[in-house]
Chain A
Amino acid sequence: MIKVENLVKAFGPKLAVNDISFTVERGEVLGFLGPNGAGKSTTMRMITGFIPPTAGRVTIGGHDMLEDPLPAKRLIGYLPENAPGYADMTVHGFLSFAAELRGLKGGARKQAIGRAVELCFLQNVLHQTIDTLSKGYKHRTGLAQALIHDPDVLIMDEPTDGLDPNQKHEVRGLIKRMGENKAIIFSTHILEEVEAACTRVIIIDRGRIVANGTPAELKARSPEGRLEDVFRAITLPDTVKA
């Protein structure tokens, strides 16, 4: 479903993403790990078509993101970092707007909103404006927006950021369930999350893929069998100069 080939992004002389390639098929949940500033968000922004790559190609369901963006974008649901939303809109208004841009009309739109609200437990805040929401609700509103059209491809930048432990558990469960028939990529800093929800892990550091495998495979690289040790062994903290 998602095919990323030799993706490069340069900001001035700095290579934020340096020759990344991978594919994600339906039924796969790919966890995207890496230190802050490793290029996770930049990669996701290129996959979703927000920023054009300096070089390389992104194909979603056979549609090239640069040459044929609209059909590619239709297949994607995207939760950007920090779950942005229009501050002055109500949750319902916001979801309705998202549904409308996704081409859902009338009864189908109503149904889609109802389903997303139920999946993300938003019933209590439906008529509250987004700027009055707590961080957890704001995040779930962003998630609901990404799920509104039941997309084949789901891309989420830190979907559990700012959620409490119960909500984190819910969202992981949701990702896992949805992963059965979608292609999912999500980034996170929480290593248990990867073990709980992912079928595959990619660790990136300084714009390059430094590890790619199932959580079990990666864990096997450490004598104690801990993902954290593997992560720390192959990535450098940003306090260390390249």
Chain B
Amino acid sequence: MNAWSNIKAIVKRELGGYFTSPIAYVFLVIYLLLTGFFTFTVGSFFERGEASLVSFFTWHPWLYLFLVPAVGMRLWSEERRLGTMELLLTMPVTTWQAIIGKFLASWLFLALALALTFPVVITVNWLGNPDNGVIFAGYVGSILLAGSYLAVSSMTSAMTRNQVISFILSVLICLFLILAGYEPVTGLLSRVASPRVVEVVAAFSVMTHFEGFQRGVLDTRDVVFFASVMGFALFATGVVIRNQRAG
């Protein structure tokens, strides 16, 4: 199919772009060091004495808060800065194909980074008898979480040719997605608002929806939530790009 081969060409180019520059390797090393640090030191993996990856997944919403916008910030800003956006969008390619291709490439890259954390799975299996179904669910949740942040970054990246602004905007929006359901915040909110309101606000948070995955529950509602965040943010990316082109 034509649409698919266009998307494939764009994915290939984007992924190639990561690995021809040192960015990809620097990112992967930092990602793995940080996940290690949070899991073992901050999350006290060994002291817990549990055969689970709770201390690994718990930190992902916070870790991704900075790491994912760092990957996504260049998606469209770079195209605008270099002027290649004009080239890309005058090719026989629809804007949607370009948006999805770029998004998928970065998502695959993040999936690769996540896949490289496999030693932690081996470790926990070697030390004890974890429920690997729970671990699998955790990985699914983590990749959906990364995709949601990435879609937000794609949107903020389309707004500006300045990567720093794009990064900061996307961190702010993702931070909101965390805080809306972060316990200290919901606790504070429940003092001034009715439980119903708190619940509604928390329903917008990635924390609320990531929690199930950490417990090993694959709930369709959570999957739908992450899919809608991605769908909405990518749709917004398209709107932003269309408005810019219309002047």
Taking beta carbons and an 8 Å cutoff, which residues of A are in contact with B?
9-11, 45, 48-52, 69-71, 73-74, 76, 78, 80-82, 84-89, 93, 97-98, 100-103, 129, 145
| B13 engages A89 (CB within 8 Å) | yes
Determine the distance from Cα of A87 to Cα of B20 in the docked complex, in whole angstroms. 11
Taking beta carbons and an 8 Å cutoff, which residues of B are in contact with A?
2, 5-6, 9-10, 12-13, 16-17, 20-21, 82-84, 86-87, 89-94, 245-247
| A88 engages B94 (CB within 8 Å) | no
Chain B residues, Cβ within 8 Å of A70: 92, 94
Chain B residues, Cβ within 8 Å of A50: 86, 89-90, 245
The 10 A-B pairs at the shortest CB distance, nearest first, are namely A84-B83, A100-B9, A73-B92, A48-B90, A80-B86, A101-B91, A74-B92, A84-B84, A70-B92, A11-B247
| A88 engages B21 (CB within 8 Å) | yes
**Binding site secondary structure of chain B:** helix
| B83 engages A73 (CB within 8 Å) | no
| B87 engages A78 (CB within 8 Å) | yes
Chain A residues, Cβ within 8 Å of B6: 101
Determine the distance from Cα of A1 to Cα of B89 in the docked complex, in whole angstroms. 21
Determine the distance from Cα of A88 to Cα of B87 in the docked complex, in whole angstroms. 16
A70 closest partner in B (C-beta): B92
Determine the distance from Cα of A89 to Cα of B10 in the docked complex, in whole angstroms. 13
| B82 engages A73 (CB within 8 Å) | no
12 further A-B contacts with Cβ under 8 Å, apart from A45-B86, A98-B91, are A9-B247, A11-B247, A49-B89, A52-B245, A80-B87, A81-B83, A84-B84, A86-B17, A86-B82, A97-B9, A100-B9, A129-B20
Determine the distance from Cα of A103 to Cα of B9 in the docked complex, in whole angstroms. 10
Chain B residues, Cβ within 8 Å of A74: 92
| A97 engages B92 (CB within 8 Å) | no
| A102 engages B247 (CB within 8 Å) | no
Q: Which of B5, B9, B84 contacts A85 (CB 8 A)?
A: B84
Q: What distance in Å separates the Cβ of B27 from its nearest Cβ neighbour in chain A?
A: 15
| A89 engages B245 (CB within 8 Å) | no
Q: What distance in Å separates the Cβ of A153 from its nearest Cβ neighbour in chain B?
A: 12
